[in-house]
Structure 1
Amino acid sequence: MSPTPQERRAARHQLGTGAAAPATRRGPSGGRKKPITVDAIISTAFGIVEREGYDALTMRRLAAVLETGPSSLYAHVVNKEDLDELLIGRLCAEVELPEPDPAQWRQQIAWICTRLRDQYLRYPGISQAAFAAAPANLDTLRVGEGMLAVLLAGGIEPQAAAWAIDSLMLYVNAYSLEFSLASGRLGRGEDWVVSREELLRRFAALPAGFPQTRRYATELTAGTPHERFDFTVGVMIDGLTAARREG
């Protein structure tokens, strides 16, 4: 009996993504096409996201680029959610993890978050694939393992460390998605994303019921997106000091 899609997925998690047995294919003119493998599917999917954004990635679109039918893809990936997990896993596999250092745990955890953010920003909107998905891919779990090791080395209580990882990853995902959406709108010339100068003008024109916004408009609009990212991650990390183990 052939393995079920769920069994294929479970086996891939245990053994790594790897390359499935390639199937020789011929194009309309009889020439050879690139064989379909899990690696070929992942690479092609990344190409679509890089050129067109994550919203353009569908199984039908992926099949078209690979010059095959959607049913051929299901011999290698279970569904779109499975593909999402593979994509996030591939990005996580490229994140280098530091050797936990109790004296540098704050810098190390912030570095991992920044590296993960930069991975997501390479492919506009791809962090959507990480939302509402329990980490099961070994490459994704590897990043969580590394973050946990750093926090524990820093003396953070295990429960606080576990929840901190969830919170930090959620923020990284959300930040990356917002950044990609804003960048895409700016690239299309849409006026929903306004400049700092325009925001300052709008705040200055607010009625009297907004005295604090008018007074602190400069502070409210200061900084680059990445500076705000660093600030927020720093605040989250600093909040963990109350959860450090004694001794």
Structure 2
Amino acid sequence: MASTPQERRAARHHQPVSDASPKRGRRAKPITVDAIIEVALDIVAREGYPALTMRRVATALDTGSASLYAHVVNKEDLDELLIGRLCAEIDLPEPDPATWRAQITGVCAQVRDQYLRYPGISRAALAAAPTNNDTLRLAECMLALLLAGGVAPQSAAWGMDALSLYINSYTLEISLLDRSGGEWAVSRDDMLQRLADLPDTFPHTKRHAAELTAGTDHERFDFTIDLILDGLTRRS
């Protein structure tokens, strides 16, 4: 008896998926989980995550949507597979108590850069629980690095979650701005002028306009990662 979609998903989390044998017909290559993932990532890289649908993937593979469901349970399952693939490509260090902070900062930067390559894909990361081996591999490493730094287990667990949420929201914000074509973007000079023109009921905003508008995106990213790590080490 054929397995249910849920059983196929569970099996895929515990063992590799073998490629199906090629079938006769116009398709030169068989449809596999890896092929679906590659096509889906290509769509996101070129058009952004909102363009990704099961129908869109099926069209790119020159097949019907129904053919995909022999390999992928649904769109949510595909999202989980995509995030797992990106996590699998992260270079994870062996935890070192002497350099743990630089190590986890580097891991966070790698995840950030992966998500920025695929605009909007952090929406999938926000919705996907880390239940497959590839996403759990990343979570395991981040937890181990925090523990190596002397962070208490409960703080390390919640701290890992805070870091992941920040990376996801940071990359999503950038993708939304890029998708708008900069229509709502304001230059720093324009922003400084707007703040300078505020009424005196905003004294702190006017006085510290330079600080409020300073820094590049990644400088702010590094600052926030450091801020989270500072808080975790102080708690411990």
The answer to whether TM tops 0.5 is: yes
Conserved in 1, the CA contact under 8 Å of 2:19 and 2:30?
Answer: no
The reply to whether residue 21 of structure 1 matches residue 20 of structure 2 is yes
The reply to whether residue 225 of structure 1 matches residue 225 of structure 2 is no
1:176-195 → structure 2 map (5 Å cutoff): 176-185=171-180, 188-190=181-183, 192-195=184-187
- Alignment partner of 1:24: what SS? coil
Letter in 2 for 1:7: E
Q: Pick closer, same or farther for the CA change 1:22–1:50 going to 2, 3 Å.
A: farther
Residue of structure 1 in register with 2:208 after alignment:
216
Residue of structure 2 in register with 1:4 after alignment:
4
Question: CA RMSD for the aligned pairs?
Answer: 1.2
1:53-132 → structure 2 map (5 Å cutoff): 53-132=48-127
Residue of structure 1 in register with 2:164 after alignment:
169
Q: Taking structure 2 as the reference length, what is the TM-score of the superposition?
A: 0.96
- In structure 2, the gaps of 5 or more residues are none
In structure 2, what is the Cα distance between the partners aligned to 1:80 and 1:220? 40
Instruction: Give the paired residue count.
Output: 236
Q: CA deviation at 1:25?
A: 5.2
Identity %: 65
Q: CA deviation at 1:71?
A: 0.4
- Alignment partner of 1:135: what SS? coil
- Alignment partner of 1:15: what SS? coil
Q: CA deviation at 1:184?
A: 2.2
Conserved in 1, the CA contact under 8 Å of 2:54 and 2:75?
Answer: yes
Residue of structure 2 in register with 1:153 after alignment:
148
In structure 2, what is the Cα distance between the partners aligned to 1:189 and 1:100? 40
In structure 2, what is the Cα distance between the partners aligned to 1:69 and 1:12? 22
In structure 1, what is the Cα distance between the partners aligned to 2:158 and 2:7? 30
The reply to whether residue 205 of structure 1 matches residue 197 of structure 2 is yes
In structure 2, what is the Cα distance between the partners aligned to 1:176 and 1:20? 33
- In structure 1, the gaps of 5 or more residues are none
Q: Pick closer, same or farther for the CA change 1:22–1:201 going to 2, 3 Å.
A: farther
Conserved in 1, the CA contact under 8 Å of 2:72 and 2:78?
Answer: yes
Conserved in 2, the CA contact under 8 Å of 1:19 and 1:39?
Answer: no
Conserved in 2, the CA contact under 8 Å of 1:25 and 1:35?
Answer: no
CA-to-aligned-CA distance 1:139-188 (integer Å, 9 cap, x gap) = 00000101111111111111111111111001000101001111222xx3
Q: Pick closer, same or farther for the CA change 1:118–1:25 going to 2, 3 Å.
A: farther
Q: CA deviation at 1:19?
A: 4.2
- Alignment partner of 1:47: what SS? helix
Q: CA deviation at 1:218?
A: 0.6
Q: Pick closer, same or farther for the CA change 1:218–1:8 going to 2, 3 Å.
A: same
